Amino acid sequence: MDAADRLSTSAFAVQLQTRHTVLPEGVGSYSETFVGGMFRRGEVGAALRLPVVGVFRDGEALFGVGNAVAMLDWKFLEQERLGSAVGAQLELPTASDEDFGDAHWLVLPYLRTSIDRGSFDANLHLGGAQTIGDGSGGHEGHHHSHSHAHEQEGFVINDHAPTEFLGRLELGRSAQGVRVPMRGAVLLDMVAPLGSESVIGSLGLAMDVMAGDNVLRLMGMGSPMESQRSAYRVGFSITHATEWFPSWL
């Protein structure tokens, strides 16, 4: 496909994703359900995800709207077995209450690369996260949480430092010659907050089941390290896409 053909090619994806995160030391748990979509024209793609958040702690359950996430992606390299792109993810302070989302902006520029070797594939995401502003009115110098009460008692949703470096490696293998196409993957996540000597890591497994343009993904992750932000996380997503899209959709 030449440059003119790529520019005239468009694709889209819609996704429903839900995940449940259990925090360490029995502090509590929370769930996030996202409805998202992405459209790509040529090498440029844009996406938007809107979440509903459930907070479960002290025998109570609270539900509300979380922070929306917008993304822009530019695929600057596309070969038969190799692809690379750069982009940025922007978290918007749209939460209906401080229990469900930080009141500041968060920008995450990234680089992603994928290699396809027949039934084997590898996907690497590298990036950083930077907080813009501080709508909490008193969160400087430490990780952000969604309320002062939650912060003091250790309940933090999607905890993050003001500045940190992120990485994810996904190694997958697709089943060949089966009636229902399937793919299994090993996931490794690493987070390195700026100014901290600790590195936060998580290991996980994922399975994709494909049926035409639809993909069902099951995922589970846990942290074997002493420094951790969650005990474990499980989730699933259903995606309808006219072509393969990055797993962050």
Which two structure tokens, joined as six digits, stand for 63? Answer: 């539900």
Token pair of 134 as six digits: 């501080």
What is the tens place of the pLDDT at every residue in 24-61?
A: 888 899 999 999 999 998 899 999 999 999 999 888 99
Phi, psi of 226 (to 5 degrees): -65, -40
Q: With b meaning 16 or more CB within 10 Å and e meaning fewer, what string describes 93-127?
A: eebebbbbbbbbbbebebebebebeeeebebbbeb
Bridge-based pairing of strands 69-78 and 163-174 is unpaired
SS3 151: helix
Residue 247 lies in a domain: no
- pLDDT of 72 reads 95
Give the tokens for residue 36: 């998202």
- Residues 51, 32 contacting (CB under 8 angstroms): yes
Asked whether residue 147 carries a pLDDT value surpassing 60, the answer given is: no
- Position 9 in a domain: yes
Mean pLDDT of the chain, nearest integer = 85
Compute the distance between CA of residue 215 and CA of residue 243 in angstroms, rounded to an integer: 11
Calpha distance 10→243 (Å, rounded): 10
Would 199 be classed as within a structural domain? yes
Distance CA 18, CA 20 (A): 7
CATH code for the domain of 57:
2.40.160.40
Query: What pTM value is reported for the model?
Result: 0.83
Question: Is residue 90 domain-resident?
Answer: yes
* Phi, psi angle pair for 145, to nearest 5°: -135, 180
What is the rounded CA–CA span in Å between residue 25 and residue 95? 26
Any domain includes 248: no
Q: What is the mean pLDDT of residues 9-23?
A: 91
For the chain, the domain total comes to 1
Instruction: Specify if 31 maps to a domain.
Output: yes
Domain that holds residue 211: 3-241
CB 244 within 8 A of CB 85: no
Residue 233 lies inside a defined structural domain of this protein:
yes
Could you tell me if residue 203 is inside a domain?
yes
Amino acid (1-letter code) at residue 233: R
Per-residue model confidence (pLDDT) at position 152: 39
φ, ψ of residue 99 to 5 degrees: the values are -70, -20
